[in-house]
Structure 1
Amino acid sequence: MTDTARPHLEIREVGLRDGLQLEDPVPLAAKLALLDAIAVTGVREIEATSFVSPTAVPAFADAEELAAHLHRWPDITFSALVASPNGARRAVTSNVVNLEYVVSATDAHSAANVRRTTEEALTAVSVIADLAHGAGGTAEVIIAVAWDCPFSGRVDADHTAEIARRAVEAGADRISFGDTIGTVVPGRMTQLLDVVGAVAPGVELGVHLHNTRGIGLASAWAAYQAGVTRFDASFGGLGGCPFAPGATGNIATEELAYMFDESGVDTGVGIDAVLDAVAVLRDVVGHDLSSNLFRAHVAGAERVAARGRAQR
């Protein structure tokens, strides 16, 4: 139960989408098992899949099949990533009406990601927003490479803020800033948020951080201090962008929840339940995960087991 006496924020679990997009395709039954594990953690929002070309991202060839099962978790708000109006139409036809649409801050990343310029991507915002709103859902624009691009280098904060302003003008309900290659630091986080606040005041903002350089949690805290209360995270720290060289995993859901909970901020997320879900994820993907908290949890369990064996 949420403690209304404490400040509150929302963590959107993106492991099923961002977390799995670099993995070998996971069978639908395993994805449903992961959903079962995540659903009991207290997470209220889950990015379930992506309606994109299965040729470009084979991990989501089963988007429609997965969507047909989401009614099993009526207390969770599901969303999906789309890369075009066609993807948005597929999503709403599959009854996934809360859409996230990516607009890259640079032409170079946009060309690699969706084979169009940033300007061309922006022109589709209004179409996608209309599709989402017409189905009773929401439209969120995620600005990829909001701080740095692997092809073009540093991105000026005014440029990113202008993209945000135009996306809101075109009908986006909220904006999220993607640190696609994990380079942002707290100072640059607050700088961008200040600029955005000046050109698009009152807009609901979120951040989507990768932990490539180990600074993701520090930047998340800086965003919170600047007023952001919506955060994307992936259980186990799994993830990365297939179209951004050098991109690694997301900030880990369990580590983000731990940091905020221990700082007196309510997330509604049960950390032990997330760690159980991470164990399921590790078995599904078949390799170790980057989460330090999960590694500490496993090591602690192994020490307890070893003491038990020694006592016998």
Structure 2
Amino acid sequence: MISSSLPKAVKIIEVGPRDGLQNEQQTISADVKIELVNRLSQAGFVNIEAASFVSPKWVPQMATSAEVMAGITRRPGTLYSALVPNMKGFEAALAAGVDEVVIFAAASEAFSQKNINCSIAESVERFRDVARAAKENKLRLRGALSCAFGCPYQGEVSADSVASVVQQLRDLGCDEIDIADTIGVATPRHVQAVMQRAAQEFPIEKLSGHFHDTYGQALANIYASLEVGITIYHASVAGLGGCPYAKGATGNVATEDVLYMLRGLGIATGIDLDKVVDAGQFISAQLGRKAVSRAGNALAAKRGN
């Protein structure tokens, strides 16, 4: 059901340091990553995806994750999350002192087979030990569901397929589940239908929207999700992170753009937009390019940055 009133407050999970930077071709030093995370912490985020404990062979950019976790200044009240693909990754994340581990599955069988050479069910089964270990060590467990609105290999993905994987991640004990538009093809009504179907399997207040802006639909999709009661969103400072399945396309929606829209709607986030703009300008300067965020660039220009 679409509500006539929007939520009064939402949680923004900042994913720039992990999801945003992981595909960068140039090597980014641990010191720069630490500075970025610290700036984001100071901006007031309650959840920052700071690291990924995957094989450096597959994601070289994340090879410094333990160093980053050791070097950041932790803000009380902020959860620092890390992506883990297996028990080896979990053990490294645990040793690094993460607050939350993120496991992942796809809503598309074709995507699952192409990317990790196994079925969706097999991929979920692989995370059973990780989920159990997370609970035993009192770590928060988040599930990420990719290709929930479309797949680069099979095309359309049904809402029932999404709901099926949500159910499997729920049964592993996930505290929160991300519904991700990995290739950025979703549009508002489609988003609402998928979110409402997922909410039949998992509490809507624990579902989050992870939207890519490949086709310029991310803000509209966030607004559509607000209308059906989604109150957790992922965003990436400066719009870090391209879409690997659409050459030259933008990936994650820019945090500054999301915050600007939410401020205009009177929806509280507890985040200092000016400090996020500063963080976005900082990391963009380090990368030697202009930030993707339109709001961030406009606000920076307005104050003469």
1:179 to 181, 197, 208: 181
Q: Mapping of 1:238-257 within 5 angstroms?
A: 238-242=240-244, 244-246=245-247, 248-257=250-259
2:131 and 2:8 map into 1 onto residues whose CA distance is: 30
Name the counterpart of 2:62: 60
2:283 and 2:124 map into 1 onto residues whose CA distance is: 35
* Identity score, percent: 33
2:37 and 2:172 map into 1 onto residues whose CA distance is: 33
1:171–1:126 distance in 2 versus 1, CA, 3 Å: farther
Is residue 45 of structure 1 aligned with residue 53 of structure 2?
A: no
8 Å Cα contact 2:205-2:231 kept in structure 1: no
Name the counterpart of 1:19: 20
Report how far residue 126 of structure 1 moved: 2.6
Moved more, 99-108 or 147-156: 99-108
Residue-pair matches, total = 297
Moved more, 33-42 or 263-272: 33-42
Letter in 2 for 1:271: L
Report how far residue 187 of structure 1 moved: 0.4
2:145 and 2:41 map into 1 onto residues whose CA distance is: 27
Name the counterpart of 1:87: 89
Q: 5+ unaligned residues in a row in structure 2: which ranges?
A: 1-6
1:149 to 148, 151, 159: 151
1:288–1:115 distance in 2 versus 1, CA, 3 Å: farther
1:89 and 1:45 map into 2 onto residues whose CA distance is: 21
Q: Mapping of 1:1-312 within 5 angstroms?
A: 7-23=8-24, 24-70=26-72, 72-201=74-203, 204-242=206-244, 244-246=245-247, 248-302=250-304
Deviation readout 1:71-128 (Å, 9 max, x if unpaired) = 5434421011122232222211222141111101123322343343212111123322
SS at match of 1:239: coil
1:236–1:166 distance in 2 versus 1, CA, 3 Å: same
8 Å Cα contact 2:144-2:177 kept in structure 1: yes
Deviation readout 1:186-212 (Å, 9 max, x if unpaired) = 101110112122233567101111111
1:174 and 1:76 map into 2 onto residues whose CA distance is: 16
Q: 5+ unaligned residues in a row in structure 1: which ranges?
A: 1-5, 306-312
Moved more, 200-209 or 13-22: 200-209
Deviation readout 1:264-311 (Å, 9 max, x if unpaired) = 110111111111111101111111221111222244345xx9xxxxxx
Structure 1 moving runs of 4+ over 4 Å? none
CA RMSD of aligned residues (A): 1.9
1:148 and 1:37 map into 2 onto residues whose CA distance is: 34
SS at match of 1:220: helix
SS at match of 2:174: coil
Letter in 1 for 2:122: E
Letter in 2 for 1:235: V
TM-score by length of 1: 0.89
1:47 and 1:98 map into 2 onto residues whose CA distance is: 9
1:80 and 1:153 map into 2 onto residues whose CA distance is: 29
